[in-house]
Structure 1
Amino acid sequence: MRITQGTFSFLPDLTDEEIRLQIDYALSQGWACSVEFTDDPHPRNTYWEMWGLPMFDLRDAAGAMQEVRACRTTYPDHYIKVNAFDSTRGFETMRMSFIVNRPAVEPGFRLTRTEDRSRIQRYSTTSYASNAPEGQRYGAKG
Structure 2
Amino acid sequence: MRITQGCFSFLPDLSDEQISAQVEYCLRNEWAIGIEFTQDPHPRNTYWEMWGNPMFDLRDAKGVMVELAECRTAYPECYIRLNAFDSTRGFETVRMSFIVHRPAFEPTLHVIRQDVRGRTANVTLELQR
> How far off its partner does 1:119 sit?
7.7
User: What residue is the counterpart of 1:38 in the other structure?
Assistant: 38
C-alpha distance in structure 1 between counterparts of 2:123 and 2:105, whole Å: 25
Cα drift, residue 126 of structure 1: 1.5
* Alignment partner of 1:76 is 2:73: no
CA deviations on 1:70-104 (whole Å, 9 max, x unpaired) are 10000001100000010111111111111110011
AA partner of residue 113 (structure 2) = R
Distance in structure 1 (CA, Å) of the matches to 2:66 and 2:9: 22
Summarize the alignment of residues 76-95 of structure 1 with structure 2, pairs less than 5 Å apart: 76-95=76-95
Q: Percent identity, please.
A: 62
Structure 2: which 5+ residue stretches go unaligned? none
Question: How many angstroms apart in 2 are the aligned matches of 1:9 and 1:116?
Answer: 33
Write the deviation string for residues 39-92 of structure 1: whole angstroms up to 9, x where unpaired.
Answer: 000111111100000000010011111111010000001100000010111111
**Which whole-Å CA distance do the structure 2 matches of 1:4 and 1:119 have between them?**
28
- How much is the aligned-residue C-alpha RMSD, in angstroms? 1.3
TM-score, normalised by the number of residues in structure 2: 0.94
- Richer in strand (by share): 2
Q: Number of matched residues?
A: 129
Q: What letter matches 1:125 in structure 2?
A: L
TM-score calculated relative to the size of structure 1: 0.86
